[in-house]
Amino acid sequence: MKPVVLTVVGARPQFIKAGPVSCALANAGLREILVHTGQHYDPEMSDLFFEELAIRKPDVNLGIGSGSHASQTARMIAALETPILSCRPDWILVFGDTNSTLAAAIVAAKLQRPIAHVEAGLRSFNRRMPEEVNRVVTDTLSDLLFAPTANSRDNLMREGIAGDRIHVVGDVMLDAALQYRSLLTSTNGCIANLPLSRKQYVVATIHRAENTDEPCRLRYLLDSLNTIATTRQVVFLVHPRTRRLINGWKAASNVHVSGPVGYLPMMQLTVNAGLVVTDSGGLQKEAFFHRVPCVTVREETEWVESVALGWNRLAPPVSVDSIVEAVNAAWGSTGIEANPYGDGTASRKIALALAEAVG
């Protein structure tokens, strides 16, 4: 009988991360059961990724949906017990820092099943972020911690986590970027009919609670996009959290507002952009992978390497001018050449470590 890995995903970036890891698990002779909590459920936030990237479909979708942190996480915890009890997996595999990650880690610990955490050791050192709480708790409960970088390993060691539980493997989002780049064609390219010239436009996404749920910050961000659009085209891809909060905002004519797009159009837009403006963890890294300068509209970032190398700069949205100045300074800039996120083999290393730990 093959060892069983029960993978829990729930949010957009987790589907993308699960893609290369699922393939690697199969190649390593492991049987995977994929459980989708249903945290993200709009077709363009969920089904689209399984279809366009040919990721294996979830075996179970718990259909949890949205809610307050407590109620959403509690419903996930209750619903995850059944699949975990019924298949008694050798490993429970979780990704990143969402409420789905936290819920799965808690249930696994309570049912005494071993937990493996991909993207372990990331820290913003800001406990007001819900994701930081999720990361710290998940790492504390995990038996195997897959740190993407040396810095994330050091964060774990400083918290007293034993070094033999930590594997520095690189970043699975780099694996995804390298694997899926070959699927890019001119037809999954930039949103049709937009007047975009290569390297002459800005791609923007905003979804962090600290930016969307603070009216002043959101207003600075939206107004800065309109200001940037006086000199450049801006493509603004709106996350559902942000969508309901920007009713009434009038985008300038050079700000092209769209709902979320698939991973391949997103990659096409990023690769060809002159600059990325974002508060997304994943998109910050992808900008770096494709060597596109990035302005991260946050006080801090967990992905400190791209900032240290000069490809990414922090611009807390404390005024319109601060964001626009950061964009102007970053436009056309480059950074130091280095590969802190590995060589695209993180998924393989994760699968082999899990297979070895079962044996």
Catalytically active residues, by annotation: 207
Q: Which of residues 128-167 bind ligand UD1 (CB under 6 A)?
A: 130-131
By the rule CB under 6 A, 98 interacts with ligand UD1: yes
Q: How far is the CB of 40 from ligand UD1 (least distance, A)?
A: 4
Q: How far is the CB of 134 from ligand UD1 (least distance, A)?
A: 7
By the rule CB under 6 A, 40 interacts with ligand UD1: yes
**How far apart (Å, rounded) are the C-alpha atoms in residues 217 and 226?**
14
H or E stretch covering 35: strand 31-36
Per-residue b or e along 299-312, where b marks 16 or more CB atoms closer than 10 Å to that residue's CB: eebbbbbbbebebb
Nearest CB to ligand UD1, comparing residues 205 and 254: 205
By the rule CB under 6 A, 241 interacts with ligand UD1: yes
Pick the stretch among 40-48, 116-124, 246-254, 340-348 that binds ligand UD1 (CB under 6 A).
Answer: 40-48
Nearest CB to ligand UDP, comparing residues 143 and 210: 210
Nearest CB to ligand UDP, comparing residues 151 and 205: 205
By the rule CB under 6 A, 11 interacts with ligand UD1: yes
By the rule CB under 6 A, 45 interacts with ligand UD1: yes
Q: How far is the CB of 27 from ligand UDP (least distance, A)?
A: 23
298 token code pair: 């946050």
**Pair 326, 295: CB distance under 8 Å:** yes
Name, in order, each residue with C-beta under 8 angstroms of 242's C-beta and a sequence gap of 6 or more.
206, 207, 212, 218
Q: How far is the CB of 310 from ligand UD1 (least distance, A)?
A: 25
**CA 311 from chain center: how many Å?**
18
Nearest CB to ligand UDP, comparing residues 153 and 207: 207
**Pair 284, 301: CB distance under 8 Å:** yes
Strands 91-95 and 4-9: parallel
Q: Region of 9 please: left (phi>0), alpha (psi -120 to 50) or beta.
A: beta
Residues forming the site for ligand UD1 (CB under 6 A): 11-13, 39-42, 45, 66, 97-99, 130-131, 207, 240-241
